[in-house]
Amino acid sequence: MEQPSVRKLPRRYKSFIRGPIPDGWMQKAGLVSPMAVVIGIILWRIAHKDGLWGFNNLKRRSGAIPLTNHMCRKYGIKRSSKMNVLRAMEEAGLVRLHIPEKKTSRS
């Protein structure tokens, strides 16, 4: 008996958030603030997309994940809020921050 042909529909979205995202990590982020959850989702998305995170038989840490203001604006997060939340996430042990020194303006 032949199966009916399945028509493939075009994808509606070009960008996806991929997992797995550790549930315990997200719960801890939720205790920091709801915005920490959103920033966490952005970070995990970048980490998976750029191959900065993976699993093996040992605990593996990610490489540096650049989080630009432009990326955060897409999700309605302002620059000042981003920094406040990232600092709170660092205090909670969710992320490690590396903030480069500001470049001096050239005159």
How do residues 14-59 score in pLDDT, each as one tens digit? Answer: 777 777 788 898 999 999 999 999 999 998 888 887 777 665 545 5
2: its two tokens: 């032949």
- Mean pLDDT of the chain, nearest integer: 81
DSSP state of 105: P
**DSSP annotation string for 9-62:** PPPS-S--------HHHHHHHHHH-HHHHHHHHHHHHHHHHTT-----SS----
CA angle 45/46/49 to nearest 5° reads 85
Mean pLDDT of 61-79: 86
Output the pLDDT for position 59.
53
